[in-house]
Amino acid sequence: MRQIITGLLIALFAISLGIAQDPATGEAAAAEQVEATGYKVGIEDVLEVFVWDEPNLSMEVMVRPDGMITLPLIDDIQVLGLTTAEIRDIIVTRLSVTHNTPTVTVILSQYNSFRVFILGEVAAQGEMNFHQPTRFLQALAKAGGITEYSKKDAVILRSVNGSDWRMPVDLKKLLTGSSAVQDPYLQHNDTIIVN
């Protein structure tokens, strides 16, 4: 039974990664996932900043340990904990001083700070690092699936604005593909406990 569940998880993981996708489509989808998940930029993440019609201002930058990035003409910007949309708005505001209605795109090209913790009835407990938007089942697959002792329920723990947030996950329904159960996106520092 465990081999069937593990095989199912691996198949779902591969499908959700879009292995069969065109690479360009995959990049666009990843950018859309960043917006959809509200991913907050972390230290060592890499951003691609495009300022249209200004190639000298377009570049790839890594978030420094102090949470800042540096761009020509606008110096340092504090980006730690912001979404790509919020970063874009700051860049547009600062560039508006010297440029007439700048068009800016900010893409998260490398996730280097995205980690979750998985505990409980999984094959491999511990910290898991990811380099793209990650769903619950993808993290579970990376942890080697559930053990034979699992009660097939789990909870995602998250800190939201200083408060603890809990999301129960019915693994039995999720693993059977029940349309009523969604496979949620995880956020940086989420903790998954599998019972």
Query: Is residue 31 one of the residues assigned to a domain?
Result: no
Q: Report percent pLDDT > 90 for the chain.
A: 58
- What CATH number did the domain enclosing 75 receive? 3.30.1950.10
* Domain termination site, one of 110, 142, 160: 110
Mean pLDDT on 104-124 = 93
Residue 21 clears pLDDT 50, i.e. is over it: no
Which tokens is 58 given?
């377009």
**Can you give the pTM of this predicted structure?**
0.60
The highest-confidence range among 66-70, 112-116, 160-164, 174-178, by mean pLDDT, is 66-70
- Band of pLDDT at residue 36, cut at 50, 70 and 90: low
Query: Is residue 52 one of the residues assigned to a domain?
Result: yes
Residue 24: the pLDDT is 41
Residue 178: the pLDDT is 75
Signed CA dihedral, 118, 37, 159, 129: sign only: positive
Angle (CA) 76-78-82 rounded to 5° is 140
Query: Is residue 156 one of the residues assigned to a domain?
Result: yes
Residue 194 clears pLDDT 50, i.e. is over it: yes
Mean pLDDT of the chain: 84
* Domain termination site, one of 83, 110, 137: 110
List phi, psi (to 5°) of 164. -80, 140
Enclosing H/E stretch for 153: strand 153-160
Number of domains in the chain: 2
Is the same domain home to 48 and 17?
no
Q: Which domain holds residue 120?
A: 2-24+112-194
Residue 71: the pLDDT is 95
Would you give the DSSP letter of residue 113? Answer: S
